Amino acid sequence: MMKKRNLFTLAFAATSLLASLPAAADRTVIQNKGSDTLVNVAQAWAEHYREVKPDVALAVSGGGSGTGIAAMINGTVDIANASRKMKSKEVKAAEKKGQHPVEHVVGYDALAVYIHHDNPAKSLSFEQLKDVYIRGGKATKWSDLGLTVPGCKSDKIVVVSRQNNSGTYVYFKKAVLGKKGKFRQGTLDMHGSKDVVDLVEKTPCAIGYSGLAYATDHIKMACISKKAGDDCVNPSVATASDRSYPVARPLFMYTNGEPTGEIGTYLDWVKSDKGQCILLKKGYAPIRNVSCN
């Protein structure tokens, strides 16, 4: 008899708990996919937004800007995250499928150039970076840049890049190599932003590029100048905000048309002081000056 009573009590408790939760049918799920640069802050936004709107769930995934944009073109995502602008051919492809991408700037990022902690380089110019990264570039050894790197016995520069579906890859290529420039062959192409930083941290011979938010105390970020001899600028939230850092870039969210309903409410919250303070704490620059606790 006691056993039956316990089973009844457990069943009643479970039913009461389910009744207190929002019914699955009553929940709105917003599909959010794309940039690996943005994925950490997008996940943080999603977690905090649960407290604001418990009946709205954000399904966040990375995969690169190209992946998010492709999902936008195919109509399988509500919000596409991108660390680059959509290309005109992508917009046309979306329009052909009945999608009408609308761009929203949700923050700014400094695209940092990472080198090993023991690398003696204090600054690097665009010209030097181009010599390292471009196909046929003349800098294949650190000594070509006048440097001797402790722990790098081979002297050969290990060139770390991103896969070509990455917005970071596209932005760096355009900014540093030029519109027609191609990456040198033999680069180590990482899937994610964190993967770049992890590899360079452990590899004295390496150089790589990734978002500022992935910096750690165990790796060095080069001071960058557009021209040799010019004053260099260090990557930081401040230099991304005022765009004085040579490789500062906007971060985007794309929606199909002007967002309405729960998607519009969510994007308004992302751009609010609360949302922008979360972005700032994650190492990105907000779209405007905000006061955060």
Which residues are registered as beta bridge partners of 19?
none
Residues in the chain: 293
Which residues are registered as beta bridge partners of 225?
125
Q: Domain limits of the chain?
A: 14-108+250-281, 110-248
At which residue do the structure tokens 């409410």 appear? 265
**pLDDT score recorded for residue 27:** 80
pLDDT at 4 exceeding the cut of 80: no
Of the pLDDT bands very low, low, confident and very high (cuts 50, 70, 90), residue 76 is: very high
CATH of span 14-108+250-281 = 3.40.190.10
Summarize pLDDT for 235-261 with one digit per residue, the tens. 999 999 999 999 999 999 999 999 999
Task: Check if the beta carbon of residue 163 is closer than 8 Å to that of residue 176.
Answer: no
Task: Check if the beta carbon of residue 101 is closer than 8 Å to that of residue 254.
Answer: yes
Rounding to the nearest 10 degrees, give the CA dihedral for residues 234, 237, 250, 169: 50
Contacts of 244 (CB under 8 A, 6+ apart): 233
pLDDT at 20 exceeding the cut of 80: no
Measured CA to CA, the distance from residue 110 to residue 213 in angstroms comes to 8
**pLDDT score recorded for residue 17:** 35
Token pair recorded at residue 110: 């400094």
The stretch 28-36 carries a mean pLDDT of: 96
The stretch 42-47 carries a mean pLDDT of: 97
Three-class DSSP category at 215: coil
Of the pLDDT bands very low, low, confident and very high (cuts 50, 70, 90), residue 13 is: very low
pLDDT at 192 exceeding the cut of 70: yes
**pLDDT score recorded for residue 25:** 53
Vertex 208: Cα angle to 116 and 32 (nearest 5): 125
More confident residue, 15 or 35: 35
Which residues are registered as beta bridge partners of 57?
29
**pLDDT score recorded for residue 179:** 85
* Proportion of the chain above pLDDT 70, given as a percent: 91
Token pair recorded at residue 10: 């457990």
End-to-end CA separation in angstroms for the chain: 57
Summarize pLDDT for 98-132 with one digit per residue, the tens. 999 999 999 999 999 999 999 999 999 999 999 99
Other C-beta atoms lying within 10 Å of the C-beta of residue 157: 25
pLDDT at 293 exceeding the cut of 70: yes
More confident residue, 21 or 292: 292
pLDDT at 16 exceeding the cut of 50: no
pTM of this structure: 0.83
Domain 110-248: give its CATH superfamily: Periplasmic binding protein-like II (3.40.190.10)
Measured CA to CA, the distance from residue 101 to residue 26 in angstroms comes to 27
Q: Which of 204, 213, 209, 240 is nearest to 222 (CA)?
A: 209
Average pLDDT of the chain, as a whole number: 91
